[in-house]
Amino acid sequence: MIPLRDSVPVHRWPVVTWLLIGMNVWAFLNELLLGPELEAFVRTWGFVPARYFALGELHPEDWAGRYLPILTSMFLHGGWLHLLGNMIFLWIFGDNVEERLGHLRYLAFYVATGVGAALVQAHLAPDSTIPTIGASGAISGVLGAYAVLFPHARVYTLLPFVFVFFGIVQVPASVYLGLWFAMQLVNGAVGLAVPVEASGGVAWWAHIGGFVMGSAVASLLRLGQRERRRWRPEYAPW
């Protein structure tokens, strides 16, 4: 199911969402210009679990080499489809979450869930020397927050089957994102039973970790808002 747009209007320009999309596109265009140097570049700036846990590749005292790739890897992608898929989800769901959280809190939320997602994946394969790249973990956090904050929204979805499109349908956000999360769980469970090298190169548990973190943060936010409204006086003086 390919999402096209959602039903929640946005009243403020999502400057952070567009900035993140621009940074991802800019980083990918730079990747294309690297030519034969791309592999070394990805190995340097992609997140390698074995390097993070000081199990190989770097000296344990090389702090920048261990920790900085957690951030830089969030802006690298392995191909046009990888980039396009992530940016579509960020464009559709990110603007509403940004409007609800506010620009700065949304940016902090995006980075935090991206880091957390990468660490979840790394702890399940701490000896992996395969670089992990992509914005999927952070965007999964955005999806988790959206599922909590806008459960009654509708996602306009294109239903494809092989090379035939059955049309556009409106799917409740809770259903669409619930199915998406279920797919990540199934693939993640299968991935635990096979070596990382044979799992297709997709960091399923980064998706799962990001989604859970995003849902948790959004749930705490909604709880805090309800508490403030509960004690708000019905009438206020001028």
* Bridge partners, residue 171, by sequence: 155
For residues 142 and 57, the answer to whether their CB atoms sit within 8 Å is no
Name which of 143, 209, 154, 206 is nearest 178 in CA terms.
143
Tens digit of each residue's pLDDT (9 = 90 or more) over 166-225: 678 899 999 999 999 999 999 888 877 765 555 556 788 999 999 999 999 999 987 766
Domain ranges of the chain: 2-194+204-228
Name which of 194, 103, 183, 68 is nearest 136 in CA terms.
183
159, containing H or E segment: strand 154-161
The burial class, CB within 10 Å (0-12 / 13-18 / 19+), for 121 is buried
Predicted TM-score of the model (pTM): 0.86
Interatomic CA distance for residues 217 and 147, integer angstroms: 12
The number of angstroms, rounded, from the C-alpha of 217 to the middle of its chain's C-alpha atoms is: 14
Share of the chain above pLDDT 90, in %: 61
Tens digit of each residue's pLDDT (9 = 90 or more) over 50-67: 888 875 555 555 667 778
Q: Which CATH number fits domain 2-194+204-228: 1.20.1540.10, 1.10.220.150, 1.10.10.10, 1.20.120.520?
A: 1.20.1540.10
